[in-house]
Structure formats: C-alpha cells, structure tokens
A = this chain, B = another copy of it.
C-alpha cells in the first residue's frame, strides 16, 4: 500500500531531504510532498506571478495566496501529515497546516524539540503522535508496514 505524506514545517534546513533519504533506505513505499523549500522563491512567488505589489503587506498576501493554493492541493492528496517545529522563527503556517490536518481527519505526527513542549502543548495534545526527531517520525510511518 502506497501512501502520500505531507511534510509541513520550517524550510530553513534540509530536514525533508534527510527524512526522504532515511525513508528510501528503509524501502518505505511513501511519496513525500510539501511546501516550496526555496525560501526566497516562496516569499517572491506572488510578485513573480502577479507582478509588483504596492508594498510588503500586499507582496506577502500575494505570495501566501499561491503558497496556500499549493498547500491545499497537496494536503488533500495526502494520507498523513508530519509537522516539524524548530527552535527559531514564528512558524505559524506550520501550526495552521497541522491544525488543518487535524480538522480534515489527516493523521498527524508532530516533531518538536523538548524546548518547545510548553508552547506547543495544545497542538501536541491534538496530534496523533508527538516525537522529537525525524527518525522517530519515520519509525511511526514504518510501523504501518510491519
């Protein structure tokens, strides 16, 4: 049984590549999708497509409309979601994607360092599983195939 898993979360390091490589080594029949990982492209995509906007507020709104379109298409094609929080940045879109997954009945694995236990406690309580590393998240996905 093949599965599609959406990888929500920060785009400032290569955690998605690590996770995909580990999944390949385990021979898991899982197809991973996720947001645009090129941060600059993600921030510019509104103006790249729709042209110069009046100021940064409108530039951000234009970019987020395209990013949200992408997310909605891919999230709806997914069988499960992994949402990873790092120690930097606000990451409210990660929280938004995780909460969307819960409401849309997409099974959710939350990955966060111990330092974020307190601020993420409500989201963690609603997630199916909460772990601290991407390897643990893969352990959970692998368990489906045991």
Inter-chain contact B77/A121, CB cutoff 8 Å? no
Complex Cα distance, B129 from A50, in Å, reads 10
The smallest C-beta distance from A67 to any residue of chain B, in angstroms, reads 6
Is A128 in the interface zone, CB < 8 Å from B? Answer: yes
A65 touches which of B85, B104, B129 (Cβ 8 Å)? B129
Q: CA of A90 to CA of B74 in the docked complex: distance in angstroms?
A: 26
Tell me, rounded to whole Å, the shortest Cβ–Cβ distance linking A63 to chain B. 7
Which of B45, B48, B66, B129 interacts with A69 by CB under 8 Å?
B129
The complex is assembled from copies of this chain, and their number is 8
Question: Is the Cβ of B54 less than 8 Å from the Cβ of A58?
Answer: yes
Which residues of A62-87 are within 8 A (CB) of B? Answer: 63-74, 76-77, 79-80, 85
A contact patch SS: helix
Give bound CA distance, A117 to B63, whole Å. 12
Q: Which residues of A contact B (CB under 8 A)?
A: 1, 3-4, 31, 33, 36, 38, 41, 45, 48-50, 54-58, 60-61, 63-74, 76-77, 79-80, 85, 89-93, 95-100, 102-105, 107, 109, 114, 116-126, 128-131, 136, 139-140, 143-144, 146
- Please give 19 more A-B residue pairs, beta carbons under 8 A apart, in addition to A72-B107, A77-B79, A103-B104: A36-B146, A38-B146, A41-B146, A49-B136, A49-B140, A50-B136, A54-B54, A61-B125, A65-B128, A66-B140, A68-B126, A74-B144, A89-B119, A90-B90, A90-B116, A90-B120, A91-B92, A92-B119, A98-B99
